[in-house]
Structure formats: C-alpha cells, structure tokens
A and B are shown apart, each in its own frame.
Chain A
Amino acid sequence: MPIHNKFFFLKDDKGNTVIHPGLLQQQGPVLPIEIQVPTALEKHLKAQGKDVPKSIEGLALVDTGATSTCIDHKVLTDLGVKPVGIIKIGTAGGVVEQNLFPARMHMKHEKIGVEFGQVAGVNLSGQKAGGMSIIALIGRDLLAQWVLVYNGPAGMFTLAV
C-alpha cells in the first residue's frame, strides 16, 4: 500500500520554506486533483471523432464526515457528463435529491486514479483553500479502502492508498 505524506509549507520571515501546522488547520486535509470524463465516455467521444473535454483542476478536501465522495455539480456539467441516478442528501433544511454522475478523479501528485460508477453532484461553488477551489469532498466510500492519519502537531496528513 503506497504511502503519501502531505505537508503544508509557508515562507518564514527569512524566506525559508517551513512546515506550518496552522495551514493544515486552516485549509484542512486537501489534495490537488483533476476531474475527468469517465473512461467509457472518453472512448466513445474519441471513436466519434469528437473532442474530449479537458480535465478540470482543483482541490479535494478529505472529509471523514461525508458518507461518500461528492463532486461539484458545475465541474461535472462543464465536462458534459450526463446523470445516471438520483441520491437523497440530508441538509439543514431536510432531505433533498441530487443527481448522481459517473466521473474519474486523478490525484496528480500521488498518481492515483479513481473511477466512480456514481458520485453525487453538489454545489461546492465558492469553497476555496489557499486560493484554489475545492471541487470535491473525499468521503468514507474511498476512506473505507484507505488509511488516513491526521497529524496536527506536525502539520501533515498521510494517506495510504
């Protein structure tokens, strides 16, 4: 099981790059990701001689409170992916229905690819960490297969995938 350590760095007064535990607290455990069209759709578009939409970059927040992984609805619709289901989601205002989409997530630095048969499309617009948009929450469906260690004092977290 490959282990990936993610540190949070800042420049200090002398211009040195130092680990900054406060950044992990502020931003949360986030990872750079790309969202891509599902493999089957990519093959279909290529076979039709059509352009494959470019992947969309952003951050994924590892959210141990989330039942399952979800992706920003706008990212999925911008990629032209069509829905394949409906899911009920609990909110402060009661249970609402949202569409499920197929999708592919690629964690660039860790070189991890995940293909989702169905993932919830939700509104994550305006959510940012360190100036980058959060476009996905990594929930317990993926964490069921991974090991997550959150090391606050050291300003790092570890994923074994």
Chain B
Amino acid sequence: MIRLKKELRFFEKSRAKLLKEHENEVVLIKGEKVFGFFKNERDAYAEGVTQFGNAAFLIKRVSKEKDETAYFPALTFGLIHADPQ
C-alpha cells in the first residue's frame, strides 16, 4: 500500500502558495501541516526524525516542475517486478 498520499495531495494543493516564498527549498509535511523548510532532503529527514521519531512523513522539494516518471527498464519490461505488493 502506498503511503503519504494525503500529504502529497496537501502539497499539490499548497504548491502555488509554497512557491511564492520557498521555491527550491525542501518542505517537511505531516498530515496537512508544514513543519519546516530545509536546504536538502537529508536535513529535512533529520528534523522529521527529531520531531516524529521513526514515522512516515513527506519530504518534497518545492518546485514548479511536475514530478517526472522514473524508468527502470528491467522493471518496465517485466524482468524485475515493479509492484512491491
């Protein structure tokens, strides 16, 4: 089961607002609340672990660009399974 869909929906809903002051920063989101902005993903993760312990939370770079699709040909052609379920 894919987790953090709620957080990602919140990010998409808030993207335009976040872009105004935090473009290219990394945001830490849990539930529907922002818990800070950081220079990179590692700093955001360290803060997330400090605040929430070993829990799921969203770390996302604030960018105008839509997320690109990643390709793993071994997965694409079914040589290795893509779906972890």
Contacts and interface: CB of A to CB of B under 8 A. Distances in A.
Interface stretch (A5-13, A18-26, A116-124, A150-158): A116-124
A66 interface: yes
B34 to A, nearest CB: 15
Contacts of B75: 89-91, 122
Contact of B72 (A67, A84, A95, A118): A67
A70 interface: yes
Interface residues of A, number: 46
Interface in A34-89: 38, 40-41, 44-45, 48, 63, 65-68, 70, 73-74, 80-89
B4 A89 contact: no
Nearest to B56: A82
A40 B53 CA distance: 10
28 contacts: A41-B54, A44-B49, A44-B50, A44-B53, A45-B54, A65-B71, A70-B70, A73-B84, A84-B41, A85-B8, A85-B58, A86-B2, A86-B8, A88-B68, A89-B82, A91-B76, A96-B82, A96-B83, A98-B2, A98-B84, A102-B42, A102-B45, A122-B82, A123-B82, A123-B83, A124-B80, A127-B80, A137-B80
